Structure 1
């Protein structure tokens, strides 16, 4: 995912057949890429940069294979900054020890959303009442307490709470862990203790938090509606998951979404648009097929396209509000949580901050 595009000087490329050079890196920023590998990206200062020179002489971005490795590297002063992928218990530990070690702590809102996708091309998730029952059973405050130790916030739309267009539509429609409402939907869908709903929840096996969230959901659902829902948990490696997601293999899946740019469209279009399909067949080709929900609605697709073209702020806001209402009417996804961003830096680091887009402005960093 990229937060935007950058200009490229005309002298760096040619237009014409065979002139495209996808393996040639062109940069006009304060750094130049000097090394890239599986666990390291090295940026050197671009001496030809047209703007103000960076406050540092270049930097290394180290990629760790696990949250534990990043956690230990920061605690032993092997890295200057630890950001993203830390588990909740590791974050809590670093926050507790920050004052003693003079570590700097940055806490910021995040635009990364986490949600449960429901595969409408597979029985019994093609039944709207089944999807509504699942939405009613999700207890977001419990997830925040048990899984994230308060380091997240409940999410009730596919839009992050940081957007002014955000409306907590799922909270209003389904609440949190509303067992009675779920029982009514399950009964309407033909499920009972004699015929319980089989609910298979998939998650990324390498994600500690997703695995814990899945286990918490399993215990919570079976406690709320004992005998009515039989939950099965399945973990799979991320590369395999995303390779198979669009093939309709998974009935439900806990996923997250990192925005491509800072606008509501990056949450609307990928979740609700489809290029080919019908309301009878579902999405055959397009965004919702690739995302594993196979959701298709002619009305919703029209609204998605309209909000992309609408230049009037209030008119576009009204369209986005209508789209959020469609989520609770059709329930192709169930929003779960939105994590807070935590980053830690060593005492010697100056100029570190997290942007609303979750970017770090490298050129402002320096060490004293």
Structure 2
């Protein structure tokens, strides 16, 4: 997906789609990945997955030739913040915790057990696996993990705030025991520890210091090693000393293509075993239609990326609640999916994706799709009529053809459904200008997307509904909703976001997430719009490819 995306704490980027940045983002997550998916609770693929511990042209033997249009900005886990970079790091490194393949269940990886948490929720004690060696032969232990986490927080990379905002200190409390103290309770902390950047690196090859990154190499503990890296390719060799389940292939050769057309044509002519991120809708439709005759398989899954409209409460006319509700009722998600995405997206009716059990389609229940009668009622209550029509603007990043098509589809649908009552003006700006304008509250509505950084509903409510400084009168002056361009301020939302972060009881958290989604649909600071689908295209000679519910792609599962 090419567009302005929001990830993390007020950071904007142009993602390397499929995912990821992440809309931001991962950003991605990512705006990822992104970031990213819903994804559902089961694996989508073409063969069972193994246990969790575990150049151009189709290759011979057991190596897998993969193609993508995603660029590799960096392999440094302290700085990588795009979905594809995250996918590479997931295959090159290990984390304290990961997800059981095909599920959203967190399981230990370099940890041996789930953490022991103190009663106040501030201290996490994590026992570590013994007998693990890094790619350079360094023994993995608590000191190595402490070094890696400290480096992640202190070097100032894009994702550093994910831990530095939460972590007070990291201590090697034993040779194979790590103790992490938090600044405040955070129930989603184990999920955060699955982030691709929280991976051990060799202290003899990396250093701690602002901006001291190694973008062109990676020395960690995972099932693959970097054999070579160029601007248009990366070669991964199997790590023969890997402590866990060995890869089902002999290595991965990734070629980076300049355009979706080149990727599409090379895959169709058998020049690749796997094509992943990103093809145009027409190319996806063609490959899906030709699976039998072409000798390939299309693996399809949802994503955790949410695409939405932000509504600025500081400016007219979107400072009027009835106007925001009217816009919510006007939008026809199914029409957008049909005309823009050729059915390759899924309508979204809340900010928490359906991948989570806590997701409630509140906008579908309250406003529906293209409900012009309901929109007219809200506009009448706001004082608008054919004699006093509503005019509002929709902005999008100029580099995003997808968002241009979405905005214009909205305009045509709304003006046809409410002739003489509503006029929609579609505008665009380049990424940096749009980012600055969103932060400064210049735009009435903007089409954005969000790539989550970790798989927990918190990562979909805190970045949207919380505010660090503000009031009902001034609205949000500093914080997440200000950075998202809505300037939403709700004491109740702030209270619920804070409480769910500290709550360890899943049932109590679920109730809070439901209440937050109720606030979202009542106050309409954002309108959820759609989620893209993710695709892997594989020749029939390749088995085991799958998109995980968490939006990851485990290369080690594939065989040929």
Fold match by TM threshold 0.5: yes
Instruction: Name whichever structure is richer in helix by fraction.
Output: 1
Q: Does 1:117 align with 2:319?
A: no
Q: Does 1:254 align with 2:447?
A: yes
Residues 38 and 239 (structure 1), Cα distance of their counterparts in 2 relative to 1, 3 Å cut? farther
Residues 38 and 232 (structure 1), Cα distance of their counterparts in 2 relative to 1, 3 Å cut? farther
**Residue number in structure 2 paired with 1:272:** 465
1:170-215, Cα deviation, whole Å (9 max, x unpaired): 1111111111221122222232223322221122333333222111
CA distance in 1, matches of 2:262, 2:438: 29
Query: Of residues 468, 476, 501 in structure 2, which corresponds to 1:308?
Result: 501
CA distance in 2, matches of 1:49, 1:136: 54
Choose 268-277 or 142-151, whichever is displaced more.
142-151
Shift of 1:63: 4.1
**Residue number in structure 2 paired with 1:156:** 349
- For structure 1, which runs of at least 5 residues remain unmatched after alignment? none
| SS state at 1:259 partner | coil
| SS state at 2:236 partner | strand
Choose 186-195 or 34-43, whichever is displaced more.
34-43
Q: Is the 8 A contact 1:56 1:363 kept in 2?
A: yes
Residues 28 and 319 (structure 1), Cα distance of their counterparts in 2 relative to 1, 3 Å cut? same
**Residue number in structure 2 paired with 1:20:** 208
CA distance in 2, matches of 1:217, 1:50: 53
Shift of 1:360: 0.7
* TM-score, scaled to structure 1: 0.90
**Residue number in structure 2 paired with 1:131:** 324
Shift of 1:142: 1.4
Alignment length, in residue pairs?
A: 367
Shift of 1:238: 3.9
Shift of 1:42: 3.8
| SS state at 2:546 partner | coil
Q: How does 1:69-148 map to 2 (within 5 A)?
A: 69-148=262-341
CA distance in 2, matches of 1:153, 1:221: 20
* TM-score, scaled to structure 2: 0.61
1:314-354, Cα deviation, whole Å (9 max, x unpaired): 21111111100001111001111122322211222222111
**Residue number in structure 2 paired with 1:236:** 429
Shift of 1:70: 3.1
1:273-292, Cα deviation, whole Å (9 max, x unpaired): 11122221121221111112
Shift of 1:122: 2.0
Q: Is the 8 A contact 1:87 1:209 kept in 2?
A: no
Q: Does 1:213 align with 2:406?
A: yes
Q: How does 1:27-106 map to 2 (within 5 A)?
A: 27-36=220-229, 39-106=232-299
Q: Is the 8 A contact 1:87 1:208 kept in 2?
A: no
**Residue number in structure 1 paired with 2:95:** 6
Residues 294 and 23 (structure 1), Cα distance of their counterparts in 2 relative to 1, 3 Å cut? same
Shift of 1:271: 1.1
Q: How does 1:292-303 map to 2 (within 5 A)?
A: 292-303=485-496
| SS state at 1:350 partner | coil
Choose 9-18 or 333-342, whichever is displaced more.
9-18
**Residue number in structure 1 paired with 2:532:** 339
Residues 188 and 110 (structure 1), Cα distance of their counterparts in 2 relative to 1, 3 Å cut? same
Query: Of residues 148, 155, 176 in structure 1, which corresponds to 2:369?
Result: 176
| SS state at 2:359 partner | coil
- For structure 2, which runs of at least 5 residues remain unmatched after alignment? 1-25, 30-34, 36-89, 97-139, 156-206
